[in-house]
Structure formats: C-alpha cells, structure tokens
C-alpha cells in the first residue's frame, strides 16, 4: 500500500510518496519522540521553577555577538515578563502539540524558533556547526515540512472537518 501526501510548504506539486507501514509509523514515532523531548523540558522547568524561569532572560542577555545581532539581548532585557513564564509554558505546549499531532506545523515552527536560539546561544561549535542543537532544529523542521501530524495524529482528523476545508490556509498551521 502506498500513500501520497502533499507537502504544501514545498510547493503545490510536491508529493511525498510514503509507503504505508514503516515510513508512516516511523514519522509518527519521530513526532512522539521529538514532542516528548520538549514536553519533558517544559514540564521539568514547570516543576522546578513554576512560571518563573529566571534563567531564560539571563541566557538571552548573554547572547552577545551572535548572528542574531542584538535581538536576543533586547528580548532578555525587555521581554523578561514574557520569557520567565513563556519558556516552560511554550516548551510544554509545543511538546504536547507535537506528541498528539495537533497544530503540528505551528508547534514545529515554535520548536524551530527555540532551537535556533539554543543553537546560536550555546554555540557548541568545537566539532563544527552540526551539533545536537542543529539536529534538534532540523528535526522540528522535518516534522513541520512533512506534516507529521497527519500520521496517527489529531491533525488528520481536524483537516477533514468542514471548517478546515472551507479555510484551506489552516493546513499550513496544521499538518
């Protein structure tokens, strides 16, 4: 059995030919593992610090001389009110959304945003640019581009609703 799934981010005519069985199952498994990674990170912060993750702004304030320019430092200085509760909360929500496959692309975008900051901020480039942080970033990118929520995820059901069919642009947040 073969299954073809459109990947809109890559274009209207690009179809990923996923043979039923291993490929779909593995994509769903990958989604679960990546989701658990962030869910665990978020929950552990929530349990330790609640909604007051003070290290978040400090981490951003230390991101000087990066490719992101003054953006992280500005965020650390001016958005601490959002970052302290936001880091554990958004990590938890991103992880949960990806695990259950709901709003998968939106959640994957959030994961890419987080991992870009971690990749640039940690700057563990001793063995080259390709490190664990970049791998995590690429995993989120892969989950989003392939629309992994359509495989054993809730997005598969949501996309069949009349509301989404009447608003096709929502598929760029779902999938």
What residue ranges bind another protein (CB under 8 A)? 1-6, 8-15, 65-68, 105, 109, 112, 116, 119-120, 123-130, 134, 141, 147, 150, 159, 165, 168-169, 171-173, 175
Q: Which residues pair with 4 in a beta bridge?
A: 17
Residue (28 or 43) nearer to another protein, CB: 28
Question: Which of 107, 111, 103 has the alpha carbon at shortest distance from 150?
Answer: 103
By beta-carbon proximity to another protein, the closer residue of 32 and 134 is 134
We find the least distance from the C-beta atom of residue 136 to another protein, in angstroms, to be 13
Based on CB atoms, which residue is closest to another protein, 65 or 81?
65
Q: What is the CA radius of gyration of the chain?
A: 18
Question: What is the closest distance, in whole angstroms, from the C-beta atom of residue 71 to another protein in the complex?
Answer: 10
Q: How far is the CB of 44 from another protein (least distance, A)?
A: 27
The CB-based long-range contact list for 8-12 (8 Å cut-off, 24+ gap) reads: 8/147, 8/171, 8/172, 8/175, 9/105, 9/144, 9/145, 9/172, 10/145
Looking at the Cβ atoms of 39 and 134, the one nearer to another protein is 134
Q: How remote is the C-alpha of 142 from its chain's centroid?
A: 9
Query: CB 133 → another protein: shortest distance, Å?
Result: 11
Q: How far is CA 111 from the centre of its chain?
A: 3
């Amino acid at each position: 059995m073969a299954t073809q799934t459109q990947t809109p981010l890559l274009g209207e005519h690009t179809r990923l030919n996923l043979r039923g069985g291993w490929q779909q199952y593995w994509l769903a498994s990958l989604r679960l593992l990546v989701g658990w990674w962030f869910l665990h990170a978020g929950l552990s912060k929530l349990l330790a610090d609640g909604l007051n993750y003070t290290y978040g702004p400090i981490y951003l304030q230390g991101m000087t001389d990066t490719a992101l320019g003054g953006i992280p430092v500005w965020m650390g200085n001016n958005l601490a009110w959002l970052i302290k509760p936001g880091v554990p909360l958004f990590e938890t929500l991103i992880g949960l959304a990806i695990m259950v496959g709901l709003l998968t692309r939106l959640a994957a975008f959030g994961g890419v945003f987080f991992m870009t900051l971690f990749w640039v901020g940690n700057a563990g480039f001793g063995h080259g640019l390709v490190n664990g942080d970049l791998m995590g970033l690429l995993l989120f990118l892969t989950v989003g581009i392939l629309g992994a929520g359509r495989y054993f995820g809730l997005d598969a059901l949501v996309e069949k609703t009349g509301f989404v069919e009447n608003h096709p642009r929502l598929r760029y947040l779902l999938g």
